[in-house]
Amino acid sequence: MGSEEPKTDVGRILASCTYDWYYFNLYFEWLGLWICEEDVERKEQRDSKSVYYAKKIEVTQFGTQMMPILLISRNVCAWNIALRREDGEFNVIPGSILDGRFGAYLSDEDQSAQPFFQPFINLFSKDELMHTLPRNRKQLIDGRYTFKVSLTNKIWRKLTFSAKHTMDDFHQIIIKAFEFDDDHLYSFFMDGEKWSHDCIASPNDDFGHADASKIQICAVGFITRQKFLYIYDYGDEWTFLIEVDDINENAEQILNPYVQETRGEAPEQYSDFY
């Protein structure tokens, strides 16, 4: 790629994103995808010895085969679980269809049932890419779920839900069980780490996290003894440790969640302000 207008989708994608990659262009050269020609004149004009400017990028034969796969068939936006979760998805299915906000060159085909390595097979020796780890998908378990929600070791509540209740229902019953006003934002941090991206948040959250009102408890993939955090009111940071106490797959569904067991007196929500 030089001064000529790219004629293919792959060329247009590369032209739009590589102009400011600087030394990252060399990383892909080292991987064998292309060969870079340094723009020495531009470097001298900018008087910058620490920045690499590419005057020309010539895609290798290997790059010609690999780039359409990396940019279209197996685009990172569709296949990277962490990236999709940061954008607000929770139960990410790699390869499933994304909307247009990630660019016009994404495949409009649902590729989630395909092995990730499938388009790469012809680029490598026979059977070299066949021995990969299987993808485990979370199972949706019906029944009743009981959680122990602890503010301290001596102040906790056991709450029971049906599989179809949402994580927003979960929030509502926690607030009710601890006699708090429901007038603040909240988040569940599923990895047990405060402010991590592994988060299910209030429906009116402004940070693009997974919407608690759209996620049913059965869809989270809970297992017994799993622990995670619930933070309510980002100013005061009321922090609760939650443990999955029991999952009864054979129990009948219940209409409303309820408090099964109570230990300790709940503190006043705004005691520090009075």
Q: What is the pLDDT of residue 274?
A: 33
- The verdict on domain 144-264 having CATH code 3.10.290.30 is yes
**Rounded CA separation 180/269 (Å):** 6
Give the pLDDT means over successive 10-residue stretches in the chain (274 positions): 58 64 82 89 78 85 89 85 79 77 62 84 75 64 95 97 97 97 95 91 86 93 95 96 96 94 94 52
Structure tokens at 243: 């443990």
**Rounded CA separation 268/260 (Å):** 21
Q: What is the pLDDT of residue 87?
A: 75
Q: What is the pLDDT of residue 241?
A: 98
Q: What is the pLDDT of residue 43?
A: 80
Alpha helices in the chain (DSSP H): 9-18, 24-30, 40-46, 61-68, 76-79, 81-86, 167-177, 217-220
Three-state SS at 244: strand
**Rounded CA separation 26/247 (Å):** 52
**Rounded CA separation 56/72 (Å):** 23
Q: What is the pLDDT of residue 92?
A: 82
Residue 84, phi then psi, degrees to nearest 5? -70, -35
Numbered ranges of CATH 3.10.290.30 in the chain: 144-264
Instruction: Record the pTM.
Output: 0.65
Using CB atoms within 10 Å of the CB of residue 22, give its burial: 0 to 12 exposed, 13 to 18 middle, 19+ buried. Answer: middle
Q: What is the pLDDT of residue 81?
A: 83
Q: What is the pLDDT of residue 261?
A: 97
Q: What is the pLDDT of residue 6?
A: 61
Q: What is the pLDDT of residue 273?
A: 38
Distance between first and last Cα of the chain: 68
Structure tokens at 220: 């989270």
